[in-house]
Amino acid sequence: MRVTQSMLSNNMLRNLSNSYNNLDKYMDQLSTGKKINKPSDDPVVAMKGMNYRSQVVNVEQYQRNISEVHNWMDNSDSALDETTQALQRLRELAVQASNGTYEEGQRNNIAKEVDQLKEHLIEIANTKVNGKHIFNGTSTTGTEDAAGNLAKPVTVDADGNVVTISTNENPVEIEVSSGTKLNVNINPTSVFGGDVDNNLFKDIEAFSAALKSDAPDEDLDSHIGTIDKNIDNVVNERADLGARMNRLELIEDRLESQGISATRMMSDNEDANLEEVIIKLTSQESVHRAALSAGGKVIQPSLLDFLR
């Protein structure tokens, strides 16, 4: 085959262009730290990178969800702890009041503290976290009354007597991992009771009324058992919440491991080996300089080369 000057020149220019492309590729890898900068560089790496990145994004979203779950559960646990303390104080007052040495005026003073504790428990029942009620099931913004207005989970009349109490037992669920949702709030009927005529607040109101009426000691003794029953209800609900919190910690640990694994796989797939890239870049620069030197000799001399 006859090799002409034009063939030599075209081959030289094409090879120089390829050399520039290689230099550009290695420079991009060195400056970005990535193996590819567009899908066409390596479709397989690009496709795997999309999958790994989706895994990382999902894990990060679940971790944000878990933070929200912690917020709900921590505040619920704190509310149940305050409820238990208030009930324990009510039990102490019931034991004191059942002592036959207390007079009517002294029992009236105890009744005043009982009424204050009831108000405190109503405030706990109406606790809101980020504008959402934690003791109102899925009706987190409030319970809709007959007129269509949103009311608190527990409402009272002008005399401070409870008139409505939430019966919404539907749990608020938040997804914490793929296909796994956790109940994050508290069942109001398990703690306070949903029957307007038979609930924690009515028990306290009856205890207060007995104190104010100077009921016999044996009648006051019966209220101790009633308070104990309410304490057991709160303890049982708090135990259920604690079990869910323990499960949440296990899920959180698993998500952290998944996030580390997905990030490592994404890094192995996308990140360039900088030492290797530097060696290739240095080698390509040497090849390019050699190609330029050889190219200068390939071009046939012209008349201008002799007019020096």
The rounded distance, in Å, linking the Cα atoms of 236 and 217 is 30
pLDDT, tens only, 283-293: 878 777 877 77
Q: What are the E-state strand segments in the chain? A: 128-129, 132-133, 143-144, 150-151, 154-156, 162-165, 173-177, 180-183
Q: Measuring CA to CA, which residue among 269, 277, 306, 299 is closest to residue 54? A: 269
What is the pLDDT at residue 161? 85
What is the pLDDT at residue 150? 74
Half-sphere exposure of 148 (CA within 13 A, CB side): 0
pLDDT confidence tier of residue 27, bands split at 50, 70 and 90: confident
pLDDT, tens only, 175-202: 999 889 999 999 999 999 888 778 899 9
Query: Angle at which helices 104-125 and 43-97 pack, to 10 degrees?
Result: 170
The rounded distance, in Å, linking the Cα atoms of 141 and 99 is 44
Give this prediction's pTM.
0.76
According to DSSP H, which parts of 157-216 are helical?
188-191, 200-212
Task: Report how far apart, in Å, the C-alpha atoms of 87 and of each of 92, 117, 192 are.
Answer: 9, 8, 12
What is the pLDDT at residue 144? 65
* Rounded (5°) CA angle 140-146-149: 50
Q: Is 185 exposed, middle or buried (0-12, 13-18, 19+ CB in 10 A)?
A: buried
pLDDT, tens only, 79-121: 999 999 999 999 999 998 887 666 767 888 999 999 999 999 9
Which fold, 83-265? Answer: f41 fragment of flagellin, N-terminal domain (1.20.1330)
Task: Report how far apart, in Å, the C-alpha atoms of 258 and of each of 21, 281, 299 are.
Answer: 38, 35, 60
Determine what percent of the chain is predicted with pLDDT higher than 70: 89
Q: Measuring CA to CA, which residue among 40, 120, 49, 55 is closest to residue 83? A: 120
pLDDT, tens only, 45-78: 888 888 888 899 999 999 999 999 999 999 999 9
What is the pLDDT at residue 200? 93
- Would you list the domain boundaries of the chain? 83-265
* Rounded (5°) CA angle 4-10-15: 130
